[in-house]
């Protein structure tokens, strides 16, 4: 007698939802996530992830992202395991599509930190479980959402504020631009010529800004961006994977350092933000991140709370 057995992926959600970009969320969802994170930060953590297992696939080193996701999952009753580049070799040891289909048979969600955003898109296309972008070369949505939480916490509101980003139009800048446009925060960015945010991201953000009635300013002048700002934000000049460009970038960004002179142009109660790791004395003057106006360690902590809110949003029991 021959038995025919049908294997069905019991982990597959009824409606799979991926978060690869801030743009995958609506304005209402962003507001809901920030509010939920604030409540979670000041209340007992609900065990909504019982019996759920997550895979963390990281091609890049990580402190805040990995630690905050692992702690969030465990505090909510779930389990997770970390897969290093050597263990998986996305696109090298085996095709990304195969990794996605295999892991979908084992876990309830995939949290991936990749060099290329295209790798995330392939994971998303072939995985039958939800995929969360934990950083790519194109975006860092969890960082930007956590940043909104920090601004809301420090300023009491988001709509009508002005955030000035000084530096490279990188993945963090992309996600912040989208997040600000969705939530009603005016966004200004000062970058050297050739380091602007990508045109495709800007187009989407402008559409969001029309709905939220917010302003977006791109300039090459740091002083123009920072003048009267509520939040002054900067990031490293050379991201992971760009090490060969480090010397050139230091020259190109030399006048884009966030220092006391530049900060004097912002509002007197302006806060300073940085996603970290930071190069003290480079993109930010030595001592600035240790000053009373700096909120970088609150900002780092809030990654935990916003990611809890995101996990509840995607995986929590209804």
Shortest CA distance to 281 belongs to which of 250, 246, 244?
A: 250
pLDDT tens-digit series, residues 270-314: 999 999 999 999 999 999 999 999 999 999 999 999 999 999 999
In the block, which residue shows the tokens 């530096």? Answer: 167
Cβ atoms 239, 265 nearer than 8 A: no
Phi–psi pair at 81, nearest 5 degrees: -140, 150
> What band does 316 get if pLDDT is binned at 50, 70 and 90?
confident
> What band does 135 get if pLDDT is binned at 50, 70 and 90?
very high
Give 283's strand partners: none
Q: Where are the domains of the chain?
A: 22-139+302-315, 143-293
Q: How far is Cα 49 from Cα 310, in angstroms, rounded to an integer?
A: 12
pLDDT in the model for residue 90: 83
pLDDT tens-digit series, residues 141-195: 999 999 999 999 999 999 999 999 999 999 999 999 999 999 999 999 999 999 9
What is the dotted CATH code of the domain comprising 143-293? 3.40.50.1370
Query: How does strand 186-190 pair with strand 162-166?
Result: parallel
Report whether pLDDT(5) > 90: no
Architecture of domain 22-139+302-315: 3-Layer(aba) Sandwich (3.40)
Cβ atoms 127, 109 nearer than 8 A: no
Q: How far is Cα 64 from Cα 113, in angstroms, rounded to an integer?
A: 12
pLDDT in the model for residue 14: 57
Report whether pLDDT(88) > 90: no
pLDDT in the model for residue 317: 61
In the block, which residue shows the tokens 């949505």? Answer: 141
Q: Edge to edge, what strands does the sheet with 109-113 contain? A: 79-83, 53-58, 109-113, 130-133
Average pLDDT (93-120) is: 96
* Alpha-carbon distances of 307 from 135, 143, 303, rounded to whole Å: 13, 9, 6
Q: 22-139+302-315 with 143-293: one CATH topology?
A: yes
pLDDT in the model for residue 243: 77
pLDDT in the model for residue 8: 35
Other C-beta atoms within 10 Å of 283: how many?
23
Report whether pLDDT(12) > 60: no
306-317 in b/e form (b: 16+ CB < 10 A) is bbbbbbbebbee
Cβ atoms 122, 189 nearer than 8 A: no
- The number of helices, as runs of H, and strands, as runs of E, in the chain is 12, 9
Q: How far is Cα 185 from Cα 64, in angstroms, rounded to an integer?
A: 25
> What band does 7 get if pLDDT is binned at 50, 70 and 90?
very low
């Amino acid at each position: 007698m021959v038995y025919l057995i049908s294997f069905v992926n019991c982990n597959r959600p009824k409606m799979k939802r991926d978060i690869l970009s801030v743009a995958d969320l609506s304005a209402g969802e962003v507001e809901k996530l920030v509010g939920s994170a604030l409540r979670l930060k000041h209340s007992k953590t609900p065990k909504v992830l019982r019996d759920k297992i997550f895979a963390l696939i990281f091609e890049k080193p990580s402190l805040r992202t990995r630690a905050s996701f692992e702690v969030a999952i465990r505090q909510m009753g779930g389990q997770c395991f970390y897969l290093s580049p050597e263990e998986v070799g996305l696109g090298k040891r085996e095709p990304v599509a195969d990794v996605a289909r295999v892991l979908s048979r084992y876990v309830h969600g995939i949290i991936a930190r990749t060099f290329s955003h295209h790798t995330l898109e392939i994971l998303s296309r072939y995985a039958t479980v939800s995929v969360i972008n934990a950083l790519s070369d194109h975006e860092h949505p969890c960082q930007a959402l956590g940043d909104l939480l920090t601004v809301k916490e420090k300023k009491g509101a988001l709509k009508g504020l002005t955030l000035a980003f000084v530096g490279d139009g990188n993945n963090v800048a992309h996600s912040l631009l989208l997040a600000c446009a969705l939530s009603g925060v005016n966004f200004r960015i000062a970058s050297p010529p050739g380091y602007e945010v990508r045109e495709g991201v800007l187009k989407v953000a402008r559409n969001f800004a029309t709905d939220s009635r917010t302003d977006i300013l791109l300039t090459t002048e740091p002083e123009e961006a920072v003048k009267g700002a509520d939040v002054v934000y900067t990031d490293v000049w050379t991201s992971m994977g760009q090490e060969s460009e480090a010397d050139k970038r230091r020259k190109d960004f030399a006048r884009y350092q966030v220092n006391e002179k530049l900060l004097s142009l912002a509002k007197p109660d302006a806060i300073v933000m940085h996603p970290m790791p930071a190069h003290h004395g480079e993109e930010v003057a030595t001592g600035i991140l240790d000053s009373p106006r700096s909120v970088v360690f609150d900002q780092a902590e809030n990654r935990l709370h916003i990611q809890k809110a995101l996990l509840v949003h995607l995986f929590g029991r209804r």
